[in-house]
Structure 1
């Protein structure tokens, strides 16, 4: 099951991170901690940082370097208008897919009862 979970998360992680950033601006470690707090403990920090690079390159977030008390400045990511559009698209797609998958599950449950 862990392998299947990993594969499914790969396809949805961008939307999940954008949803976190829709709540508030955050830097990489805060995003990773937020994911873990929500039960996504298996996501590696390196995966999150690679995703942040990609969404920055795609122009979905604004980035501000903020001084840190410990070490180099932190990159704080803020969801911008393009990122909000992408997040809205993610939620539309998610609803579409989850409704169809639930229908399949409902059909499977009915078949098992028959």
Structure 2
């Protein structure tokens, strides 16, 4: 069992790092579970802290001859790329996405974001 996994009853819980790109676009990842390697489908648009459930991928239990299985929960932790690791092409693409978003917001009449300061990080 991986150090990243925590057992709670028959269920398993894992904190799963996820790139910004995979969170935006969705992806399929091979993940370790109590029942072996499985493919986890991550839908597009997930957020930091979202939890995905993989049914029956937890701990097996036999009670009175009947097998049951817990679930495996994956808590997503988005990994934002360090600006030093972004290529000029990636920065240009991100700026293009920002412009599209701003254009979309203005066309819908949405208010802009208020200025905020980061006061703590975990």
When normalised by structure 1's length, the TM-score is 0.27
Larger % of strand: which? Answer: 2
Instruction: From the CA coordinates, give the structure whose radius of gyration is larger.
Output: 2
When normalised by structure 2's length, the TM-score is 0.25
